[in-house]
Every structure is written in structure tokens, then in C-alpha cells.
Structure 1
Amino acid sequence: MKSIAITAYGGPDVLQLEERPMPAPQAGEVLIKVAASGVNRPDVSQREGNYPPPAGISDLPGLEIAGEIVWGDLAHADNVWSLKAGDKVCALVAGGGYAEYCVAPIAQCLPAPQGLSLVEAAALPETYFTVWSNVFDRARLGLNEDGQPESLLVHGGTSGIGVAAIQIAHALGHRVFATAGSEEKCRATERLGAARGINYRTDDFAAVVKDLTHGRGVDVVLDIIGGDYIPRDIDCLAADGRLALVAVLGGTEAKVDLLKVLMRRLTISGNTLRARSIKFKQAIAQQLVEHVWPLSESGRIRPEIHASFGPGEAPEAHRLMESNQHIGKIVIDWSK
């Protein structure tokens, strides 16, 4: 099979097409003929040598795919949707997604939502799993004590995670604010469902959020930046607010006023998905199919595909990711 390998740690040009043996599914796994592979920031980190795959996982990058099941352990108890050979699915994987064929735990395979192409479906798993796990499970975005939908601030509003968080939370009735680095991107977040896009280059997002909420703050902050955003996130939060940290693009250290955390009963959580157990990811998959798939199939949310590239154009896909010029997802289309 064709695959996109990391031939050495470094810049985008280290991504090269290679012939690899087709993987064979083990117990609880299926082989998927990949139609499209999502491109994500962790793929860039792996290419740079900063995010190695877990033990026993393919060294090929790629954390999300969509395609058709070829064969595998379809009789396994984790096949809760009775998937069969030929079914179109999208799947979260721990590696190996940049290839024509990929194995995936059947527990992490979801039926491709009706109405979406496989290129669109490939843009779902990594971001949707991340958003649901962190915003709705860990940070418990839901209804307040008065029965009203809580509010959410999303950093990186035009990233893959940001777009997914805005769309899902808005579709579920929550008031969403989002930060982005240009007026064009701010308007894009509003088109996607944010009540206000805040340009972090020209505005103090904490001050804007407090003003928009009449001094109260938001209930949940989803942060992919870290670093010096953390103390400002804390200033954005209402009493009993929750901060969900999922990446540290802006740095790994922050100075925090712990008295604010204590006095306002705040919760700060951090979480990455790649090394979590199959059982943990299966629980998220089931919640997505129950709560989010109907939103997709009704047309209330839809993945935002910024660009698709052929397998031989993987370096260009990574350059675009690193430029931060995209709005939504970048995908590798294996039909090109």
C-alpha cells in the first residue's frame, strides 16, 4: 500500500510517499480502505519529533480516517453498531492514518454520518472526540442551576477543534464566544455559530468576555494555547467555572493566582486522547453517535473543510497547517 512516512524528524519535506506492507487487523480490530485522512496539529508535532506514537502503534502519522471496512474482527463485542465489510465509517486511531489502508479498533469506528462525503467524515473523529471529551464530559458544559444553557469561550476558533466546539455547542443551545487572529477569522467564527468573535491581536479577550456577560464571565473555557492565556482564562470564568486545557501551543508554563481559583471554586483540567484506553474512547464514540450524529445528519452542523491535498502533497498540507491561515480542517484525499 501507499503510505506517507516521516523519513526523518524535521520540516514538512520529510514527509515522503513510501510503499509499506498492508497492516493486518488483530482481535477487536478492522482493516479500513482509507478514502481520506484528517491532518491535525499533533501530526506536525510527531513529524518534528515531539509527539512519538504510543508503544506498539504504527510510526506513520495520522489520527483520524474515513473509508470502507475491508475485513476484521466484526464479531467482537465492541461492534455495537453491527458494522460489516463494505460499510462506510470514520475512525479515531492512535497512528497509521496517513496510508491507503489502516487498522482501527472496532470500538473507535463510527458509522459515517448520512449526508457527508468520506472526505468530510475524515474531518470528524479527532476534533469531535476531543471536544466532546473535554467540553461536555470533563468540563460538564450543560444547564445551570436555573435550567439555562451555560456559556463557552473557545480559543483558536477557526482551528479544527475550535470549529467543532463552536458548531456543537451552538447547536445544543449554548452561547459561544471565540478568539481568532484576524477580522476575517472572527467573522468566520460568527458564521459558524459564535455570538462574538474576538480578535486576540487587537482586543483583550478577558475584558471583552466580561463585558459581553455583564461581568459574570463564562462557565467553560476550551483552551488550546496555554502559557500566558491561563491567567486570563481564569479572569474569564464565572464562579464555579471550568477550564479545559487540551494543548499548549503558547507555552507550557503559566503564573496563576490560586486565590482566584479558591475563592471562585474554579476547576482546571488537562487531557490528551492519544494514549487513553480503547474503552475510554469507545464511551466517547457512543456519546457522539447519540448526541452529535443527529445534529450532523439533520444538517445543523457540518465539517468545515478548508482544503484537501493528494498524498504526494502532504508537505503542502503541513505547511498550510503551520501557517495558521486555514479555517477548519485540512484533509488528505487518497483519490487524488
Structure 2
Amino acid sequence: MTSDSFYREPVPAEWAHRHLLDLERLTPDEIRLLLDTATLFKEATGGCRRKLGVLSGFTVVNLFFENSTRTRVSFALAARRLGADTVDFTTSSSSLSKGESFIDTARNLEAMGIDAVVVRHSTPGTPHLLAQHLQVGVINAGDGPHEHPTQGLLDIFSIRERLGRIEGTTVALVGDIAHSRTARSNIWGLTKLGARVILCGPPTLVSDRWKECGVEVSHDLDAILPRCDVVNLLRIQFERQSTRPFPSVQEYAHLYAMTGERLRQARDDLLILAPGPINRGVEVTAEVADCSRSLILDQVTNGLAVRMAVLWLICGPRAAPTTTPLGSHGGRLV
């Protein structure tokens, strides 16, 4: 496929999914197909700025039950770049406040002729439940601490775009692993593509049980930095914690924030990622967030390309099934 014509063709037969619910159950080839398709969309739209009409006449509903800036706007813009209409569903003014169930709300939206639902919810498994009750495509935009597949994809895309590969790289995920859906999607995606993943943070937020997933666990950022090609800095999610996991924010920053001094002690080509929102002075200092090795804003741009790819693969046209002509098997209809 070439970037100036691929979207005029049916969705590749290698993509057989009606939904995107997680990265855990995707194969390495399916993840590569998503990344390759995102690359083509980024090229075809001049860096995600030009509109294409490939989903003209389609409608995508953003069904967000948690606050969001980047993900909600990114999905809306991605759909519009593809020519689709978008609806931002507002939960506070919906019939949910009158006692209507979540599933009934979604089925009523489906009855209006929508084509896909992008859902974010604080309860793990909500997109999977929705997919069991709807015929339209369901895309997981984050379900509690479970997964955030498009964030994982855009992080991996950003690394591959800069380094040219994922296999053989060493990527450290630093911070609140315990409550991070982004961490889980990164772990599944990176390990499936052959990266070495190191989880780093205080013991209260990074359990040794993660080793069962084939990753390394460390509680010493300074010790692992010399081995890293990439450091992905994850926000401390105080809103998901019932107790403070460390004595103070200042102590956390002292031990785990990516500072200019740590950057100077790392490899010269170390890349810095952060899924946002970033807390300057906690996970990362301003000096590092704004330096030339930071891909933080590249991640935002690449999120558009990834979400365009996901929407097209979920909603785009399928090739007509091949049929065997009558008589080609001894006159029998097969």
C-alpha cells in the first residue's frame, strides 16, 4: 500500500476485529498493521493536518465517563479528518441521571444509526461489556486501570518512528504502574514486538508480581537509566488511590523525577515520553519536558494518526467475500 491510495481500498483482510478493546489479545502482526496504517495516514494527511473523506457519512460517538483532554479531542479530530461526524455524549445531562442503564443508553444511541462508540469509563471491562451488546464498533479509550490501547499504540508508534524499530530496544516505564492503564497497554504492546521493558517506581506502586509478565522490575531509577533507550514517565494517579503511596511528593520527585541532571547521566540518545497530563516538577522537570529529546508533543500528534488508523480499520469498508461459481466443483453448490 502507498500513502496516497491505501485508504481507497478495503480494510486489509489481516484485520478481522470489529472492536479495539485491548492490546493483550492482539497478535504482533495485528499491532504492526495498526502501526503501519497509522504511518500511512500520517503521510497521507501531511502530518495529520489534511482531511480525507474516507469515512464520510459515518458517525462516531465519544462516550466519556471520565475527564479527558487529549484522548477525547484526538478521537474527535481523527474522526473529522476522516470525514466522519462526531457526537460528544455528555453524561451529566443524559438520561443516565434519570436511572437509565448504561447498556440501554448505548443501545438507544446505536438505534440512531451511529457507526462506532469510543468509550472511557472508570470501571475495568466496561468496553468489553458494551461490545457484547452492540453491533457497532467499540473502541476502548481507557477502562479504569485496565488498558488504554490507543495510548499504548501511540507511545509505541512514537518510539518506532524515531528509532526505526521496537525489537531490541529497552524501555523503562517509570511511576505509578499500579494504577496505570497506559502501563498495561505499553507492556503488552512492547513485549509482543520484542522490546525489553523495565518497570520502575516505589515498591508501593511497582509490585514484583509484574515479573510474571516477562518484564524487569526495579526501584532504582539511577541504576537502570544507563541501559535505557526510552523512558516513559507515568503520572501519579492520586485520584485512584485511597492512601498516599509515599511520604511526600518531594521525596517521590527526588527519587524518580526525570531531571536535567539525570538526563545528563543517561545515554546521549535517550528518548523521553510522557502520556500526559504531565505534572512538571513531579514526574519530570520543565528542563527535560521541553528538551530536544522529549517526544511529549510528538506523542500528541501521533495520537491523531493512530486513532485515524483505528477508526478506519474498525469502520472502513470490507472486501466482499469471495464466492465459488456454480459448477466449478462438479456442478455442486459449495
Q: TM-score range by the shorter chain?
A: 0.3 to 0.5
Greater C-alpha radius of gyration: 2
TM-score after normalising by structure 1: 0.43
Q: Which has the higher contact order (CA 8 A, sep 6+)?
A: 2
Q: Which structure has the highest strand share of the two?
A: 1
